[in-house]
């Protein structure tokens, strides 16, 4: 997909990270992961649904043997822009007991979701457990837990695109954009 591609109806959004910047960042992260897990089998677990584009691009760069699974964590409902209670579903996972596991998520905001997911996965007794995130918002961090790998740090904005959404819109943007407050209040295209 060409880096200037923009789906219809999504014009005028402020670009935070271009497609080319994202691809370079994901390739850089994959190199770090390859170094960390050299010679080891890996289970990569993506957090649905926001990390799926990131997950797909990332695993194409990893050459070590791997398995892929997903975990579902939901804290935003409908038009909410602040999280509610977190629901975690692990029934979509392969067996991770005694396996090296890398949890992949789209964004590290307050950190509460990642902290809870890591706790849930530790109960399944992996050999090791690390986390990688595409985006981190340092201004919003509320917990001591931190991802082991971060591709980009961003300001405190509502990011969409590259799999991330607002009310199920914008996931198909090939870049990452910031929604302005008036765009969050309006119905998505």
Task: Give residue 74's pLDDT.
Answer: 72
Active site members: 109
Main-chain phi, psi angles of 136, to 5 degrees: -135, 140
The per-residue pLDDT for 73 is 82
What pLDDT, on a 0 to 100 scale, did the predictor assign at position 10? 66
Would you list the domain boundaries of the chain? 19-155
Indicate whether this model's pTM tops 0.85. yes
Gap between the Cα atoms of 159 and 40, Å rounded: 34
* pLDDT tens, residue by residue, 73-114: 876 555 555 556 777 778 889 999 999 999 999 999 999 999
Domain 19-155 has CATH 1.10.10.10: no
Provide the pLDDT for residue 3: 46
User: Which positions ≥6 away from 116 have C-beta within 8 Å?
Assistant: 73, 86, 88
pLDDT under 70: residue ranges of the chain:
1-11, 75-84, 187-189
């Amino acid at each position: 997909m060409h880096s200037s591609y923009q789906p219809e109806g999504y014009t005028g959004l402020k670009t935070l990270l271009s497609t080319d910047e994202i691809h370079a960042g994901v390739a850089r992260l994959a190199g770090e992961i390859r170094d960390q897990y050299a010679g080891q089998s890996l289970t990569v677990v993506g957090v649905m649904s926001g990390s799926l584009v990131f997950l797909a691009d990332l695993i194409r760069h990893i050459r070590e043997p791997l398995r892929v699974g997903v975990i579902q964590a939901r804290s935003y409902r409908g038009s909410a822009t602040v999280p509610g209670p977190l629901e975690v579903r692990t029934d979509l996972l392969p067996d991770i007991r005694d396996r090296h596991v890398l949890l992949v998520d789209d964004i590290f905001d307050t950190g509460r979701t990642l902290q809870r997911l890591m706790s849930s996965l530790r109960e399944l007794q992996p050999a090791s457990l690390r986390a990688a995130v595409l985006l981190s918002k340092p201004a919003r961090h509320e917990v001591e837990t931190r991802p082991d790998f971060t591709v980009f740090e961003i300001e405190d904005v509502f990011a969409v695109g590259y799999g991330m959404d607002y009310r199920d819109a914008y996931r198909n943007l090939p870049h990452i954009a910031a929604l302005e407050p008036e765009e969050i209040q309006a119905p998505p295209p």
